[in-house]
Amino acid sequence: MTTWAFLGGGLSGGEIFVIALLALLLFGNRLPQVMRSLGKGVTEFKKGVKGIESDIEKADIPPPQQLPDNQAKQDVKSSASDKAPA
């Protein structure tokens, strides 16, 4: 018995046969065309995911370097004094 996580249970061979029969009745002659377009959609989705992954790998930027505590405190003080009203 094969379990399908998205259905929350298992499907037996008879249930899969009934689903396939219903799909054949509903789509008839268009079933090959529907499956072809579904396959193209999945292929495009995979290409998109691959493109995003490659963009992320290309943009692998190292984290910024930490400033010493003295320098960080001076930067905070100077930026606070810049914003203070005159």
Interval 23-79: pLDDT, tens: 888 888 887 888 899 999 999 999 999 988 888 877 776 666 765 665 555 555 565
Answer whether residue 34 is part of any domain: yes
Answer whether residue 40 is part of any domain: yes
Instruction: Give 11: exposed, middle or buried? Use CB within 10 Å, 0-12, 13-18, 19+.
Output: middle
Answer whether residue 86 is part of any domain: no
pTM of the model: 0.41
Q: How far is CA 31 from the centre of its chain?
A: 28
Answer whether residue 38 is part of any domain: yes
User: Is the pLDDT reported for residue 9 higher than 60?
Assistant: yes
pLDDT at residue 1, as a whole number = 47
Answer whether residue 70 is part of any domain: no
The boundaries of the domain holding residue 38 are 29-57
Answer whether residue 39 is part of any domain: yes
Mean per-residue pLDDT, 9-19: 84
- Domains identified in the chain, total number: 1
pLDDT at residue 6, as a whole number = 57
Judge whether 4 and 10 are in contact, CB under 8 Å.
yes
Answer whether residue 51 is part of any domain: yes
pLDDT at residue 29, as a whole number = 82
